[in-house]
């Protein structure tokens, strides 16, 4: 998990800063050995964090609270995909 266990009302909002550095290191390491790797982040993924997580090199996102807590699930998924695709890191 990439998020510290928060109180239920904060689920999915607390991304560990150290995680982003770890994702970046894994991404660079896999690129150095010319290996395609899927880097998944599960926890803390939301509209406010997904672009930073993608910028660090993650390319698979589990956004449970962000999606299932939204009023319009398809619109939320579309918005999250757009933000991830806007990342400066190309997957």
Q: What pLDDT score does 43 carry?
A: 83
pLDDT-derived band at 5 (thresholds 50, 70, 90) equals low
Distances (CA, A) of 53 to 20, 27, 64, 88, 90: 6, 12, 15, 11, 12
- Is 90 exceeded by the pLDDT of residue 90? no
Q: How far apart are CA 52 and CA 74, in angstroms?
A: 22
Mean pLDDT over the full length of the chain: 77
Q: What pLDDT score does 12 carry?
A: 45
pLDDT tens, position by position, 34-58: 667 788 888 889 999 999 889 888 8
Report which of residues 32 and 60 the model is more confident about: 60
The ranges assigned to domains in the chain are 8-85
* pTM assigned to the model: 0.67
């Amino acid at each position: 998990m990439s998020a510290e266990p928060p109180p239920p009302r904060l689920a999915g909002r607390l991304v560990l800063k150290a995680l982003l550095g770890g994702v970046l290191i894994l991404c660079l390491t896999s690129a150095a050995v010319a290996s395609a790797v899927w880097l998944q982040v599960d926890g803390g993924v939301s509209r406010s964090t997904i672009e930073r997580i993608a910028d660090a090199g993650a390319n698979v996102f589990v956004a449970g609270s962000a999606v299932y807590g939204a009023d319009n699930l398809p619109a939320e998924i579309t918005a999250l995909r757009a933000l991830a695709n806007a990342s400066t890191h190309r997957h």
